[in-house]
Each structure stands twice: as C-alpha cells, then as structure tokens.
Amino acid sequence: MPAGRDTRRADLVADCSRCAAICCVATAFDASEDFAIAKPAGVACPNLAASHRCAIHGELAARGFGGCVAFECYGAGPRLARALVAPGPRRDAAFRALVVVHELLWLLTEAAKLRADPPPDADLGAAIAAEIAALDAIAAGPIAALARVDLAARDRSARALARRVGDELATAASAALRRRRGA
Ligand code: SF4
C-alpha cells in the first residue's frame, strides 16, 4: 500500500525494516504459481541473505515469488522482533500464532471504523471492543502463552463479529436506498 494511505493501527502494519525476516523462516510454502520452490516451516528460505534481507527483494514476482509480495504479517513480525525471542522453533510457532492474532485485530479494528456514528447496535460495539481487548492482551502477553491460545475459537469469534458489522452495513444501505426511492 502506498505510504500515507494506510490508516491501520500502527502496530498492525507490516514493516520489514523493523523485523528480522522471521516470515522467511517461520512459514512453509509449496512450489506453485506463487512460490518457485517449496520450503518447510522453520527452514530459512535459500534467498534469505545473512543480513536478514531478501536477496531477490526487487524481483520477487519476476522470480516466481509473488506469494512473498502478497504475504502480510499485520505487524506480527515487528512485534516478535521487539520481543527479542531467539531464532528457533519457539519463535517460529509464536510468529505463526501472532500473525493470526494480528490479522483478527486488523479485521475488527477496520470493521469498527466502518460502523455508523452513532452505531445502531451498542451491544455489538461492546462485543467488538471486548474482543479487541482480548486479542490485544494475547498479542502483548508472554510469548510462551501463545501456544495455549485457542486460535480457531478466537478466529470464529472475531469473524462472527465482523459478519455482524457486514449485516449491519447491509441493513443500513438497504434502508438508505428505500428512503431515496421514497418507499
Ligand atoms: S523469496 Fe525472499 S521474501 Fe520470499 S521467503 Fe525467500 S527470502 Fe523471504
């Protein structure tokens, strides 16, 4: 996204300059149209330089790594880099969990912005705020605790709230359309 256009919460923005290429080690990918090679989780990509920078960064898509261009950590990498966790399986697992938590935080913080002011359903606003607070507590909590988080349950809960926002917006749009038509 071009600089200056991203209105996401600052800690939910990927920033490779504040990371240590954790995604290039922690994630797995299969050889496909998105990745020129296959790589298991926990093994450094052969294109990763000793400087923790991608050696083919300027030509990722042309070299068959469009999946790397599309990948979004939602700020999970910089958060983990700040925590100074030593490289290894523990950091890799924490990264994969944090990506999920940060993506859900992004989903809910952005969904909340789309709601009308004042929002029609105060209970929904409270539920979103509670879920964001819970996710923030997980993200800011001990790295070791991430392994005990039920990510599937958190995912279901956050996405259900986001769907309610979508339903709310659809209802509001339908009502506005009816008013314009004088119905
Ligand atoms: S190609 Fe570059 S960006 Fe993609 S995983 Fe390998 S080192 Fe990282």
Mind listing the pLDDT tens digit for each residue in 116-133?
888 888 899 999 999 999
Cα(42) to centroid(ligand 1), Å: 13
| Residue 183 pLDDT | 64
Atom 1 (ligand 1): residue with closest C-alpha?
47
What secondary structure does DSSP assign to 75-113, as a single string? THHHHHHHTTPPSSHHHHHHHHHHHHHHHHHHHHHHHHH
pLDDT of residue 4: 52
The confidence score (pLDDT) of residue 164 equals 96
What's the CA gap between 54 and 175, in Å, rounded? 50
The ligand 1 atom at the shortest distance from the C-alpha of residue 57 is 2
CA of 82 to the centre of ligand 1 (A): 21
Ligand 1 mutation pick, 16, 19, 24, max ligand atoms within 8 A of CB = 24
- Whether 26 is in the pocket of ligand 1, judged by its Cβ within 6 Å, is no
Closest-CA residue to 76 (of 138, 13, 131): 13
**For the chain, where are the E strands, in sequence order?**
none
d(CA 115, CA 180): 20
Alpha carbon of 94 to ligand 1 centroid (Å): 19
* Dist. CA 16 → ligand 1 center (Å): 12
Which has the closest alpha carbon to 25: 103, 87, 102, 99?
87
139 CA to centre of ligand 1 in angstroms? 25
Q: Which residues of the chain have pLDDT under 50?
A: 1-3
User: What confidence score (pLDDT) does residue 44 get?
Assistant: 95
